Chains A and B, each alone.
Chain A
């Protein structure tokens, strides 16, 4: 134990930082988590910005949180409750809609209404996707092997992967290779013919990425979003009661119960390094806190380009970190509403109002939204994923009032027309509000307050580089042993006793907690402690 009394400092109280801290504290280490803002949670926070309405102001839904983490850290005991929700719907310009019901029979009937063939194909589709999920899921909580290493541990892990892969059988292996490398558009085309169904399903393949549904590799992103489970229902999504902040609040309580400490309003300026080894951190206030181990929950760019002196790092490593792609591609509108706006294309009292709503009725509409991003402008007609949590969780807003979370894809971090400013932010917000208003005549009248958040705002507020929600693109060259940097995919860094635990590491972003748990395991392994 160092003079400060702490064995480990975790920089950043995002969900992954808290998960790492919880595991370490549970093994008996003295852990301190430092958070720059006034609240724990990082991008998974609930805030009251307008009157008594609770906003999940970045991350807004959850499915990816690993159940084993929830169990081990006893999160339900600390108040976490995940409520499953209806699958959602895509509204159509002709006044019709496509609804993705949770109930399989209802879902089938609704699909058949749009295409009988697609209804038939859906069973095959969901089986095939779930098979891929089952293959990948156990890998989430494992440390990726280094394919260039001859260490027994890496070789054994490669062998394990090979065996698991081989156990699928020859045809399934080919299917898997294709699945991991295809575009979502091509993949969906293999099953479905209806534009609106494909448009609806394609959303999951692009949320948070700087790719369009026609870009190769997006079928995997689809999977990344399907990987979650709520109540053992694979691929379904849920809400945390009380907003996403409830997850991080429960984590914080779990941590405190294990003897861990958290300090908010404690921005870390530097991770100090002496002779290739860390000695602790220096806060922006100048205060120094010593600890033999420092774990960074910040994204890889922030960690190594801003918080550690470049002179302490190998130049090639710094170069690789610079080239790590972490691009802002999404924005968010948090809207307080005076009542539920009407959406005429969705039948009255339909359960899908409690799911996520969209209006991109074909793959091409989503792809065109991406073309705008490539040109450095927000999408003229963006893809949106909007949801009204207050319909499911009445604790989030006073009676009669509602909260609408609108996730917007695409919105660039760098605009071709210049830097982000208030005027441009407002125009961006209006683009989104106008787009929604086309499907809801009374939408604008019901708006009490709208918080508009561009990638630039998200970076400034949460600290995520370019406001990228996954702390780095989920492309082939940035997954598994390549994430975040080839040779440093096992949560360790070029500096002894500095570790990474954020979404920049395997298996990537989403409120999943797996990177945090994996990092903790590696740290404990280095300390010779059991997990």
Chain B
């Protein structure tokens, strides 16, 4: 069965990047079809009703990386995007005293020395400056490492100029710290363990390494750059959960003429004369298009949907070696009432809460994951979205969600038992901060990276589709030969988080891919 209509572009996967891509292609006046395997759009950025009446952002639960100009271009506010909170402060929890409150440039906490407080302002200002310098690089299409034509030379001169503009001192410092690990950088800057722990967690959230791993300063700067070097929304909580962001992008895409189909799982990408020309759905239906854009992760795209037969062995080997094993899990608790965290008052419960008392704590939470074991004391980024947005749960009830570091993808054969043990360990940690929280739990769910893979179809359950690190970054993300959203197969493009710049609800990969496709059409 073949649908008669042929599209300019078909996008495989209705995650946020796929939808941004669809909206961008649609706005250029081209016909575009989005095919989503699930019954709902949004991929990992959708809402999940994990218990009757309790809704939670299934993947990332706080928005920090969506560029404001992208939101403007797609008119997301016009399509219903509202925020329950913006520039949320971070509370680094303590079991014994007051938490630290980390703002954009200020940190408060009775346990902090004056030197640390001053250092925080200096540090956050400098890091934001570096992040702002890197932002154009994060947002650009990576050039290929070929410097033959003048246009190519110009690309690299532009990159060099970005750095030079910082001035000599800052450039030197950036070139020094960018390859460093967060552990040492924070150690040379601050004294407070809790402060260092909180900042280090930002560097390793969703990442595959602990704070001692070189490259974690890069992931920290990536996070900051996503926050527009401190000039964006900061950490924001979308009203209605992350699903509301997706809904707004979807509405924008629809308005641009995109056709969005759910429950339409693509079985394979069709290739004719070495060119991608359409897709075949699981139902047997085939649909043709000039361009196929995959929002699926690179491994799924190349090995499952396309098939290794269409690629040369060197490239296939690189795809096989792509590191894409997630180490972040997700905890969802349906709570019968508002928990009582001993260190903070009820108002601050709607902030971003961290359990990362020290860098060594993080490193210890990381160590077992190297050996495919769950940590006994995981680190947590907690959001109780219902404090600011009661619509997500039945009246008077609450939802707590937490990103849990570091849970390995493969933690032994007895998954259910190990998952239950890990959930228990997390509850023990939570209980230390919020005594009695256990008794409030009406329902609990822990999604390990394995579960995330099953649920959202991303290989290895990695939110970012591919681990972030220097070796999988910019020129080489996801793999050399496919780093410019184009692939070795004509007409096939990538638009997901596996592409430059990487993961997070950011939409840049989707937009850049759309631009590439439209360039090709010219």
Chain A residues near B (Cβ < 8 Å): 147-148, 162, 166, 170-171, 173-175, 177-178, 180-182, 186, 189-190, 211, 214-217, 322-323, 325, 364, 367-368, 371, 374, 475-477, 481-482, 486-487
Q: Which 5 A-B pairs have CB atoms at the shortest separation, nearest pair first?
A: A476-B179, A181-B470, A174-B480, A486-B172, A178-B471
A482 and B176 in contact (CB under 8 A), knowing A148-B171, A216-B214, A364-B370?
Answer: yes
**Chain B positions 130 through 148: 1 when the CB is less than 8 Å from some CB of chain A, otherwise 0:** 0000000000000011110
Query: 8 other contacts beyond A162-B147, A364-B371, with CB at 8 A cut-off?
Result: A166-B145, A166-B147, A171-B314, A173-B145, A178-B471, A180-B470, A186-B323, A477-B179
A166 to B148, CA, bound (A): 10
B144, B178, B323, B480: most-surrounded residue (chain A CB, <10 A) = B480
Q: Which residues of chain B are near A322, meaning CB under 8 Å?
A: 188
A486 to B177, CA, bound (A): 11
* Among B145, B314, B367, residue most surrounded by chain A Cβ atoms (within 10 Å): B145
Given known A177-B476, A190-B321, A325-B184, contact A482–B214 (CB-CB < 8 A): no
B213 adjacent to chain A (CB < 8 Å): yes
| Bound-state Cα–Cα, A171 to B488, Å | 13
Complex CA distance for A371 and B470, rounded to whole angstroms = 23
Complex: A171 Cα to B168 Cα, angstroms: 32
Query: Which residue of B has the minimal Cβ distance to A158?
Result: B160
> B212–A215 contact, CB under 8 A?
yes
Q: Is there an interface contact between A477 and B180, defined as CB atoms closer than 8 Å?
A: yes
Complex formed: what's the CA distance from A318 to B494 in Å? Answer: 48
* A181 & B471 in contact (Cβ 8 Å cutoff): yes
| Contact with B176, one of A175, A211, A217, A477 (Cβ below 8 angstroms) | A477
Which B residues are in CB contact (< 8 Å) with A189? 321
- A281 vs B200: C-alpha distance in the bound complex, in angstroms? 44
- Complex Cα distance A271/B189, Å? 30
**Among candidates B146, B179, B360, B471, residue contacting A177 with C-beta atoms closer than 8 Å:** B471
Cβ distance A173 to chain B, nearest Cβ, rounded Å: 5
Chain B residues lying within 8 Å of A148, measured Cβ to Cβ, are 164, 168, 171-172, 175
Asked if residues B214 and A215 are in contact (CB atoms below 8 Å), the reply is yes
Cβ–Cβ contact A323 & B188, under 8 A: yes
Q: Shortest Cβ distance from B377 into chain A, in angstroms?
A: 14
Residues of B within 8 A of A (CB): 144-147, 164, 168, 171-173, 175-181, 184, 188, 209, 212-215, 314, 317, 321, 323, 360, 363, 367, 370-371, 469-471, 475-476, 480-481
**Contact A147 to B175, CB < 8 A, known contacts A216-B209, A476-B214, A477-B214:** yes
Task: Decide: A374 near B363, CB < 8 A? Known: A178-B471, A214-B370.
Answer: yes
Interchain CB contact under 8 A, B367 and A371: yes
- Distance from A81 Cβ to chain B, minimum over Cβ atoms (Å): 39
Chain B proximity of A104: nearest CB distance (Å): 24
A215 touches B213 (CB 8 A): yes
CA distance A170 to B484 in the complex (A): 14
Q: Are B212 and A475 in contact (CB under 8 A)?
A: no
CB nearest to A174 among chain B residues: B480
Q: Quick check: A170 and B146 within 8 Å, CB to CB?
A: yes
Residues of chain B lying within 8 A (CB to CB) of residue A481: 175
Q: Are A174 and B145 in contact, with the CB atoms below 8 A?
A: yes
Q: Across the interface, do A475 and B215 meet the contact criterion of CB distance under 8 Å?
A: no
Report the Cα distance A371→B175, complex, angstroms: 28
Query: Can you give 24 contacting A-B residue pairs, CB < 8 Å?
Result: A148-B164, A148-B171, A166-B147, A170-B145, A170-B146, A171-B314, A173-B475, A174-B475, A174-B480, A175-B480, A178-B471, A180-B470, A181-B179, A181-B215, A186-B471, A189-B321, A216-B469, A216-B470, A216-B471, A364-B371, A368-B371, A374-B212, A374-B360, A486-B173
* Residue picked from A180, A215, A216, A368, most chain B C-beta under 10 Å: A216
Q: Which residues of B contact A214 (CB under 8 A)?
A: 370
Nearest B-chain residue to A124, judged by Cβ: B317
Instruction: Determine the chain A residues whose CB is within 8 A of the CB of B180 once the complex forms.
Output: 475-477
A148, A180, A186 interface centre (most CB from chain B within 10 Å): A148
Q: Which of B177, B180, B360 has the most CB of A within 10 A?
A: B180
CB neighbours (8 Å) of B175 from chain A are 147-148, 481-482, 486
* Contact indicator A217/B370 (Cβ below 8 Å): no
Q: Which residues of B contact A174 (CB under 8 A)?
A: 145, 475-476, 480
Provide the bound-state CA to CA distance between A323 and B186, in Å.
11
What is the CB-to-nearest-CB distance from B435 to chain A, in angstroms, rounded to a whole number?
29
Nearest A residue to B163 via CB reads: A147
Q: Assess the A170–B176 pair: CB atoms within 8 A.
A: no
Chain B residue with Cβ nearest A476: B179
* Known contacts A171-B480, A181-B470, A190-B321, A477 near B367 by CB under 8 Å: no
Most-contacted residue by chain A among B176, B321, B367 (CB, 10 A): B176
Distance in Å: Cβ of A506 to nearest Cβ of chain B = 14
Per the bound structure, the CA–CA distance linking A178 and B480 in Å amounts to 10
CB distance from B218 to the nearest CB of A (A): 10
Distance of B409 from chain A, by nearest CB (Å): 15
Query: For residue B360, which residues in chain A have a CB less than 8 angstroms away from its CB?
Result: 374
Give the distance to chain A from B298, nearest Cβ to Cβ, in Å. 15
Closest to A149 in B: B168
Q: Kindly list chain A residues whose C-beta atoms are within 8 Å of the C-beta of B371.
A: 364, 368
Residues of B within 8 A of A216 (CB): 209, 213-215, 469-471
Contact of B214 among A162, A374, A475 (CB under 8 A): A475
Distance (Å) between the CB of B425 and the closest chain A CB? 19
Shortest distance between the CB of A475 and any CB in chain B (Å): 6
Q: Nearest B residue to A319 by beta-carbon distance?
A: B188
CB-CB under 8 A for A178 and B476, given A216-B214, A323-B188, A475-B180: yes
Residues of A within 8 A of B181 (CB): 475
B315 → chain A, closest Cβ, in Å? 10
Which residue of A is nearest B363, CB measured? A374
For the complex, give the distance between the alpha carbons of A180 and B164 in Å.
Answer: 23
- Asked whether, in the complex, the Cβ of A181 is within 8 Å of the Cβ of B469, the reply is yes
- Shortest B181–chain A CB gap in Å is 8
Within the complex, the shortest CB–CB distance from A212 to chain B, in Å, comes to 8
